[in-house]
């Protein structure tokens, strides 16, 4: 390949698992934005879908690989290993490119080619069929100017920087994008959110139950090691939350008459922390959404605390199960 193709070419790398509902539309959005403008390829790395994901992707012209029982990091790394171009665009199987993405990407490709020490992309936008959770929690992030990571579902990087960082950590189930960007900053990379590179995430939670489940899952990435715990402010808050909850439960057990005091102390803590976080998230603006955001922070910290409990109890349960099998 010549340098011009490297300048204008992109390898889209998309890990998938049972994405038949979205993958066709996602690939159409890629084609509509880049076909005829740039050289590109689409690499689907499938984690064992049992629906029509691979069939649909192949019909749309994507190169499909199968990799069973792998982390999402390993899937992305595998896609990189066969990529033809120097610019990698990591997408998720339910993240659609906006209509003018192809117009906005040109100058960014040139910047990355001349200065590969940049990780860019953008935070996901919300769909037209959004609800209040998406509007007050997720939508405000799209315009952030100062960020310390980019979502792995829309992360754009040059091959040289990816190699220097060492790829995504294959042992991480979630939080791999944050950890990747942390290592990238240590080798001199800059992280840039580009709001004009609009993408839509179709998988945002539309109910409190799904929001809780999502945050419980994502929170597990903070507890891979003592280092990741200490480097995450939400994880430290959740550690304090768990310790206080245990203290209050023990206090209520031994001092039954004072149960209301212990309960009040805990409620004051979780409500106070959530309101403070909501004020910070809304940039100190007092508006009608503040209480909604505070409520979601209560759910958020509760879910992330459950992730900590999972991280502690999970290995104990597995070890007990193994011991019983040996006996």
CA distance 197 to 194: 6
Q: Name the token pair of 15.
A: 């890990």
**What digits encode the pLDDT tens for the residues 204-233?**
999 999 999 999 999 988 888 888 888 889
Residue 4 has a pLDDT of 44
Task: Name the DSSP letter for residue 14.
Answer: E
Indicate whether 323 pLDDT > 80.
no
**What digits encode the pLDDT tens for the residues 278-304?**
998 887 677 778 999 999 999 999 999
Residue 226 has a pLDDT of 84
Strand runs labelled E in 17-123: 40-46, 63-66, 87-91, 95-97, 118-121
**What digits encode the pLDDT tens for the residues 63-77?**
999 999 899 999 999
Residue 288 has a pLDDT of 79
Phi and psi for 88 in degrees, rounded to 5?
-105, 130
Select from 182, 171, 196, 186 the least CA-distant residue to 107.
Answer: 196
pTM, 2 dp: 0.88
Higher pLDDT, 118 or 3: 118
Residue 221 has a pLDDT of 86
Give mean pLDDT, residues 126-142: 93
Phi and psi for 60 in degrees, rounded to 5?
-85, 0
Give mean pLDDT, residues 2-17: 74
Lowest mean pLDDT among 149-163, 247-261, 273-287, 306-320: 306-320
Mean pLDDT over all residues of the chain? 91
If you search the block for the tokens 């199987």, which residue do you land on?
Answer: 93
Give mean pLDDT, residues 42-62: 97
Give mean pLDDT, residues 230-248: 94
* Domains of the chain, start order: 3-204 (3.90.550.10), 226-326 (no CATH)
Residue 7 has a pLDDT of 42
CA dihedral sign, ordered 130, 133, 135, 140: negative
């Amino acid at each position: 390949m010549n340098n011009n193709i490297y300048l204008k070419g992109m390898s889209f790398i998309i890990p998938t698992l049972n994405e038949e509902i979205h993958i066709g539309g996602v690939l159409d959005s890629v084609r509509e934005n880049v076909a005829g403008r740039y050289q590109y390829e689409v690499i689907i790395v499938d984690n064992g879908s049992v629906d029509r994901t691979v069939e649909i992707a192949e019909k749309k012209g994507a190169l499909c690989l199968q990799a069973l029982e792998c982390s999402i990091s390993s899937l992305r790394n595998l896609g990189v290993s066969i990529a033809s171009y120097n610019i990698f665009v990591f997408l998720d199987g339910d993240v659609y490119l906006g209509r003018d993405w192809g117009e906005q990407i040109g100058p960014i490709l040139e910047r990355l080619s001349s200065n590969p020490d940049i990780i860019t992309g953008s935070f996901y936008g919300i769909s037209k069929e959004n609800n209040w959770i998406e509007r007050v929690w997720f939508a405000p992030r799209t315009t952030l100017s100062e960020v310390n990571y980019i979502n792995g579902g829309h992360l754009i990087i040059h091959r040289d920087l990816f190699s220097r960082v060492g790829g995504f950590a294959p042992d991480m189930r979630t939080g791999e994008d944050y950890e990747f960007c942390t290592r990238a900053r240590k080798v001199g990379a800059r992280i840039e959110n580009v709001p004009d590179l609009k993408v839509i995430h179709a998988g945002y939670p539309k109910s409190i139950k799904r929001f809780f489940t999502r945050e419980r899952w994502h929170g597990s990435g903070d507890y891979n090691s003592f280092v990741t715990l200490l480097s995450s402010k939400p994880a430290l808050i959740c550690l304090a939350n768990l310790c206080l909850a245990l203290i209050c439960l023990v206090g209520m057990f031994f001092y039954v008459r004072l149960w209301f005091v212990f309960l009040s102390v805990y409620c004051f803590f979780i409500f106070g922390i959530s309101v403070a976080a909501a004020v910070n998230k809304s940039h100190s603006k007092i508006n009608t959404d503040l209480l909604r955001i505070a409520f979601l922070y209560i759910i958020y910290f509760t879910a992330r605390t459950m992730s900590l409990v999972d991280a502690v109890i999970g290995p104990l349960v597995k070890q007990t199960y193994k011991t019983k099998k040996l006996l």
